[in-house]
Structure 1
Amino acid sequence: MAEQKVERKDKRIIVENVRRVLLKEYLMNETRRAGFGGLDIQRTPMGTRVTLLAERPGLVIGRKGGAIKSLTEAVERQFKFDNPQIEVQEVGAPALNAQIMAEKLANALERGWHFRRAGHSTVRRIMEAGAKGCLVIIAGKLTGQRHRTEKFKAGHIKYCGEPRNLWMDLGFKSKVATKRLKKVVKEVKRLGVDVDVDAEGGDGA
């Protein structure tokens, strides 16, 4: 009996996590023009509070709140969240938001920018905004038929462990609408991080 309860609990957790991932993908697609910057979902006694970060929150809210009302109704209807309340917050520094910058990089590639120009330009913009470090990964058929991966980085990067979870912001864009590119991944190190540097100039990761 105890094992069955644990199994049912595990299934509920899996179903809930899948539903949250699907909601994030849906809102990412629906608010793409507004500059989707992230999502936080919390259960409250009044229902489900969804905090959405956007570069241009006015586009999410719409005229007289019409757009956000329609979005809330769609979330409740399609994802069965209890009394969802969507709150939109403006991203203070878009260049330090990994998801927004991943979208901008993907858009540049779709417009025909060479991947090296787009990668270096993105890294430079992020570092000029005050990031401690930045890693951009572009993967796909970049110049020919063979799949390849190119990395562009600057500053100090944490690659693993708890420091990575605390100090690195991850953004991604997959299935970019071009024949040669499949995925864009970017990591931006948050501001105010004290990084240990070893004697050989490493990043202490």
Structure 2
Amino acid sequence: MASERKFIAENIRRVLLKEYLMKEVSRAGFGGLDVQRTPMGTSIILTTERPGLVIGKKGQTIKNLTIAVEDKFGFENPKIEVLEVADPNLNAQIMAEKLAFSLERGWHFRRAGHSTVRRIMDSGAKGCHIMLAGKLTGQRHRREKFKEGYIKFCGEPKLQFMERGYATAKLKMGIIGVTVDIMDSNSRLPDEIKVLTKTEVSQVYPELLDETPAPIVDKNLLEEKPAVVEPKVEEPKVEKPKAAKAKTDKPKVEEPKVEKPKEDKPKAAKPKAEKPKSDEPKEDKPKAAKTKAEKPKAEEKKEEI
């Protein structure tokens, strides 16, 4: 539990340091802060639009800042290093402060928002998203968004490629919050694939396009020669004499057979079922009377004597 409290206290101290330096360096254009611990002490890298205002005459301003950081926030042996922003139009924190300053001067929020988006995209950014929240036109709180190009709202691409800046504009109607998100032109999204040309491949991987001729191989060596099959010589088999085993005849003992008396089971006489004879009158079939055909007898011719 002690380690968690120590971690939270360290982060709170860094947030308070960032807010303090934003107020002290607001004229020079605060662009970002990075705090690192080193064996020699604490290294504080401060990014601004005009580093000359932070350093001051003969470095007096930065010396006063270093003493104040050590006394107020308790950093051990702090060393402040000031860097200049390469392109202020691609720095989200600087653009958020400029937009808030233009709103305080009386610009209409739509005019200020569209002009800021146009300036960021003309500097080469891949995408930009601006959100204004507060009493913009009346007593009712509302939000207004301005966006253009590629924008990532979640996931690892958002944490890796999107830079966020926040500022506040104090008006008569109330406070307006200004949030600016910028995707840098050097950010490479996961779905972007670059196809290299032949010259680029030769510069990166010269061994892939090595055009040295291949070694000449003799074709006779590659031809397969027929395998010579040597005849197998059959060796005569020597029969080993088998040792005759002596058989021992064991005397067989005859066991006496005991005759079991057979029991005569009485056979039960099964009654024969007599079929009932039906007294049906027999019909006398009429016999057909056969007529004997009388053959004509041939009259014997009497011979005349």
TM-score, with normalisation over the residues of structure 2? 0.61
- Other structure's SS at 1:52 match: strand
Q: Distance in 2 between matches of 1:51 and 1:191?
A: 23
- Other structure's SS at 1:50 match: strand
- Other structure's SS at 1:113 match: coil
Counterpart selection for 1:90 from 47, 69, 84: 84
| Residue 177 (1) aligns with residue 150 (2) | no
Show the counterpart of 1:125.
119
Counterpart selection for 1:57 from 28, 51, 56: 51
What root-mean-square deviation, in Å, do the aligned CA atoms of Structure 1 and Structure 2 show? 1.0
Show the counterpart of 1:11.
5
Q: Distance in 2 between matches of 1:131 and 1:162?
A: 19
Show the counterpart of 2:35.
41
Compare the two structures and name the one with the higher helix fraction: 1
> Unpaired segments of 5 or more residues in structure 1?
1-6, 198-205
- Other structure's SS at 1:34 match: coil
Show the counterpart of 2:97.
103
Deviations 1:121-157 (A, max 9, x none): 0000000000000000001000000000000001000
Quick one: higher RCO (CA 8 Å, sep 6+), 1 or 2?
1
Q: Distance in 1 between matches of 2:104 and 2:60?
A: 31
Q: Which runs of 4+ in 1 moved over 4 A?
A: none
> Unpaired segments of 5 or more residues in structure 2?
193-305
Identity %: 62
Q: Distance in 2 between matches of 1:107 and 1:49?
A: 31
TM-score, with normalisation over the residues of structure 1? 0.91
| 1:20-39 paired onto structure 2 within 5 Å | 20-39=14-33
Displacement after TM superposition at 1:193 (Å):
2.5
Displacement after TM superposition at 1:194 (Å):
3.4
Q: Distance in 2 between matches of 1:138 and 1:96?
A: 19
Aligned residues: 190
Q: Distance in 1 between matches of 2:13 and 2:153?
A: 28
Show the counterpart of 2:285.
none
